[in-house]
Amino acid sequence: MILDKRKAIGFSRIGSRAAYGMTLFELAEQYDDLMVVTADTSTSAGLDRFRKTYPEKYLDVGIAEQNAMGIAAGLASEGMTVAASTFAPFQTMRCCEQIKVNLGYMKHKVVFTGLASGVALGTLGYTHCCIEDMAIMRSIPNITVLSPADCGETAKAVEAALNHHQSVYIRLTGSSPNPPVYTEDYDFEIGKSVKLRDGNDVGIIATGSMVHPATKAAERLAEAGINASVINMHTIKPIDNEAVAQVCKNTKLLATVEEHTIFGGLGSAVAEAKAPLKNAPPQIMMGISDSYDKAGDYADILDHYGLTVEKIAQKIIDAYKNL
């Protein structure tokens, strides 16, 4: 899918969930054997138009995520191209063992997308937030984990995942509107991160909804005389080891930023990649601390956990000064 400014802005306005549904709608004709599986979440996934236009490619299994992932795997075992989706906690945790056995162990290929991951649904409470999915999905063999930075990248990730050789979990973060990181086309390749900015003092590696604030934080750092590079780590597994090694070689401090628990997600994956390197810089990990203690408006939760442009920049400045 080619991204242009009009598309990027349009997707940005509707948010990542609607961008997901619209992408499947646009790609539907390209896959004769496409099956879109939902668990009573067609509207939430922007799939209402798809549902009406392509009923033969659509299957709703009701609010039953274990069954959804079993059925998705059964369809995949017959060679169909399967895209399943529901809200992130139910898409990953409720049916975790179905994912392990059917997708990880048997390697039936399903693209499964966690809607509204992170804390975007904070007003609904933590039942509907998902700060654990990258950690859990990353631990299962034969699953690729993607975390797109914006809505345009969501579209690119969905297309790349449909054509990928193994199952892919796509984690959608952010709300609508969702500020675009990209407004023109670029090469999206699973497993290959994208450097958005150069800088030799600090390396910021961000994923999902945190890529945009990371770029803004880098601008603040520049104002404070600190040059930061910014990497969009859209693939959490397999992590881009080469990019991590490169940024470790060129900077004095590493910062990871994610809308996810600080355990097991981007920060952990980067730390694992960094562990064997000689003379690697120290790493500060920004994310949701180990708690469910603040629900409410999305912006308030992000602020509470230090995931705003100002707080990201300040934390990096403080750490940099203490080197």
Among 55-63, 117-125, 260-268, 300-308, the segment contacting another protein (CB under 8 A): 55-63
Give the strand pairing for 283-288 and 253-261.
parallel
Rounded-to-integer distance, Cα 119 and Cα 42, Å? 21
Binding to another protein by residue 74, rule CB under 8 A? yes
Can you tell me the distance from the alpha carbon of 317 to that of 311, in angstroms, rounded to the nearest whole number? Answer: 10
Among 18, 61, 83, 172, binds another protein (CB under 8 A): 61
Q: Whole-number minimum distance, CB 27 to another protein, in Å? A: 18
**Residue 191 in the binding site for another protein (CB under 8 A):** no
Residue from the set 2, 6, 56, 322 that interacts with another protein by CB under 8 A: 56
In the window 7-46, what residues touch another protein (CB under 8 A)? 35
308 in contact with another protein (CB under 8 A): no
Contact 209, 176 (CB under 8 A): no
User: Which of 167, 279, 154 has the alpha carbon at shortest distance from 211?
Assistant: 154
Could you tell me whether strands 202-206 and 167-171 are parallel, antiparallel, or unpaired per DSSP bridges? unpaired
* Region of 95-103, 135-143, 191-199, 258-266 interacting with another protein (CB under 8 A): 95-103
CB of 263 within 8 A of CB of 289?
no
Point out which span in 68-76, 171-179, 211-219, 310-318 binds another protein (CB under 8 A).
68-76
Contact call for residue 143 and another protein (CB under 8 A) = no
Least gap, CB of 294 to another protein (angstroms): 32
Give the interface size with another protein as a residue count (CB under 8 A): 26
Angle at alpha carbon of residue 47, lines to 63 and 175, rounded to 5°: 90
Side-chain-side CA neighbours of 176 within 13 Å: the count stands at: 20
Binding piece for another protein, criterion CB under 8 A, among 100-108, 168-176, 215-223, 293-301: 100-108
User: Is residue 26 classed exposed, middle or buried when 0-12, 13-18 and 19+ CB atoms within 10 A define those classes?
Assistant: middle
Task: Tell me if 106 contacts another protein by CB under 8 A.
Answer: yes
User: If binding is defined by CB under 8 A, does position 101 make contact with another protein?
Assistant: yes
Stretch that binds another protein, among 77-85, 169-177, 188-196, 256-264 (CB under 8 A): 77-85
Which of 56, 187 has the CB closer to another protein? 56
Block residue for tokens 């934390």: 315
Q: Which of 34, 96, 44 is nearest to 65 (CA)?
A: 96
Q: Is 136 in the site for another protein (CB under 8 A)?
A: no
Q: Which is nearer to another protein, 59 or 309 (CB)?
A: 59
290: nearest Cα among 264, 265, 261: 261
How far, in whole angstroms, is CA 16 from its chain's centroid?
10
Return residues touching another protein (CB under 8 A): 35, 56, 59, 61-62, 64, 66-67, 69-80, 97-98, 101-102, 105-106
